[in-house]
A = this chain, B = another copy of it.
Amino acid sequence: MTLQEIYGEEIMFEELKDIVGGENFSDALADRYIYSSDASIHQSLPSVILRPGNTEEVQEILRYANKEKIPVTPRGAGTGEVGGAVPIDGGIVLDLKRMNKIKEIRIGDLLCKVEPGVVNDELNKELKEFGFFFPPTPGSGKVCTIGGMIANNASGMRAVKYGATRDSVLGLKVVLPQGELVSLGTQTIIHSSGYQLERLMVGSEGTLGVIVEATLRLKPLPEKRAVGRAMFYKLEEAGKAISAIVARGITPSALELLDEIVIKSINAAFNFGLPEIEALVLFECDGNKVSIDYEMDKIKKVCQEFNSFSIDISNDPKEMEKIWEARNAAFPATSRYKENLARVTLAEDVTVPISKLSELIVNLHRIASENSIIICTYGHAGEGLIHTSFLINPESSQQWERAKKAVAEVYALTQSLGGTTSGEHGIGISKAPYFKKERSETLEIMRKIKKAFDPQNILNPHKLMDAPDDFFTATKLRYAIKE
């Protein structure tokens, strides 16, 4: 029974309203609809939305929720694709976007302290003034928040060189489910002072505590960048080139792959005029100004060896921006590939050992073909991560059935290649059934840890290891499915 069913939709949580003030409280149906979904396929109405402005308010809210056993779902920008911010049990959605102060930038200590609602690109705009940056580069960087990135362990295209968010979190202030405020980690770039709880918190998807401050490791902005674009007639050869670049000890700062359907989508939607071939590999090197040409040349040679028939390299800022713009257009573009087809976020970020990349891609296309469905493949190939966008008519129950079957096959393929369910999007609701298969050995430990932090199970309940076994019926879907 959901909270709405217990309390009724019209209930006013007067005590909660007092904590955040009337303007930061809403139980209006329109607002509840807005906060009922994120970028996933799921939808579930919260009872109230609270927008706390500081740590004390978060503490008071959690104390109240813990006392009254009300579920609390923390939320950043709502860009998550797996339903992590969907309030599956109703209750409170805790919108943290008001807590958006960059509290300190301490270049001499290689760190900054920020509130969870700071937007990734806005932080990097500030840091640029000092010649530094925060390395994770999610595709949603223009809107996504640091809190959400930490909760999901976001990565993005530069993780091939700079690692994921987990590698850049030095310390966290976290409000525990009972309302207690604790500091985890340190203000130093290394530490061996006990359990690395700040790292446990990264990727815990709001189930263990609410992040109210993060201390992030900064890296110096490179003096120079260059971007290259290599064209391949054969997707498989592109995959092999990517594996070879990595295996020969070259470390690009990005190594991306786009397949033909994605290329066509991007052209159709945004008229980028990309060559419509089986595969396009985009690569970037960054570093000091004397070494870029040397590194780019190494990558170029590998691409040629694997039969790339055309390679352009540029270090002109406008040119480079245009190349990355085309890449970043993949997400919105795929929905425009054909009329009536929409991208539905299903098995979006499967990740395999890098050497298995070609095998993954070839078999993804086989699965698509066998199930008469369209799957676009593109992504952070240098990390072994492939975005597998499913294009279906979301009104057709038959196409959903096909997609569900194909999704299960994609995960089975990924696991058979030694890969993992999620590279950067998290588990939430959508990926939970496959995650639970992959990690069956560790679910009990995760549940014990969850219980140690949150005995009343109020924080983002029924996600990850505790999510329903059928993602498709776990919540309402955001789509009206006809026969």
27 cross-chain CB contacts under 8 A: A106-B353, A106-B355, A108-B243, A110-B246, A110-B354, A153-B190, A164-B192, A166-B199, A183-B442, A184-B442, A187-B353, A188-B418, A189-B384, A193-B421, A193-B422, A194-B439, A195-B449, A196-B199, A196-B202, A197-B445, A199-B202, A220-B251, A288-B291, A291-B291, A448-B453, A449-B452, A452-B452
A107 an interface residue at 8 Å Cβ cutoff? yes
Count of chain A residues with a beta carbon within 8 Å of a chain B beta carbon: 91
Asked if residues B446 and A449 are in contact (CB atoms below 8 Å), the reply is: no
Asked if residues A354 and B194 are in contact (CB atoms below 8 Å), the reply is: no
**What CA separation (Å) do A204 and B152 show in the bound complex?**
23
Contact flag A183-B441 (CB < 8 Å), given A108-B243, A188-B352, A446-B194: yes
| B residues less than 8 Å from A237 (CB atoms) | none
| B residues less than 8 Å from A366 (CB atoms) | none
Please choose the segment from A303-311, A388-396, A424-432 that sits at the chain B interface, where 4 or more of its residues have CB less than 8 A away. A424-432
8 A Cβ contacts from A240-295 to B: 243, 246-251, 287-288, 290-291, 294-295
Closest to A350 in B: B188
Closest to A352 in B: B188
Asked if residues B424 and A190 are in contact (CB atoms below 8 Å), the reply is: yes
A423 an interface residue at 8 Å Cβ cutoff? yes
**What CA separation (Å) do A294 and B289 show in the bound complex?**
9
8 A Cβ contacts from A391-450 to B: 418-427, 435, 438-439, 441-442, 445-446, 448-449
Contact flag A427-B111 (CB < 8 Å), given A167-B167, A197-B442, A249-B221: no
A163 an interface residue at 8 Å Cβ cutoff? yes
Closest to A165 in B: B192
Closest to A465 in B: B194
| B residues less than 8 Å from A356 (CB atoms) | 109
Asked if residues A190 and B383 are in contact (CB atoms below 8 Å), the reply is: yes
Asked if residues B355 and A189 are in contact (CB atoms below 8 Å), the reply is: no
Asked if residues A187 and B446 are in contact (CB atoms below 8 Å), the reply is: no
Contact flag A107-B247 (CB < 8 Å), given A290-B291, A290-B294, A291-B291: yes
In-complex Cβ contact of A249 among B131, B163, B166, B184 (8 A): B131
Closest to A298 in B: B288
In-complex Cβ contact of A188 among B163, B351, B465 (8 A): B351
Closest to A354 in B: B109
Expressed in whole angstroms, the minimum distance between the Cβ of A408 and any Cβ of chain B is 17
Asked if residues A196 and B192 are in contact (CB atoms below 8 Å), the reply is: no
Expressed in whole angstroms, the minimum distance between the Cβ of A351 and any Cβ of chain B is 5
A24 an interface residue at 8 Å Cβ cutoff? no
Asked if residues B353 and A423 are in contact (CB atoms below 8 Å), the reply is: no
| B residues less than 8 Å from A354 (CB atoms) | 108-110, 188-189
**What CA separation (Å) do A180 and B441 show in the bound complex?**
9
In-complex Cβ contact of A195 among B203, B295, B385 (8 A): B203
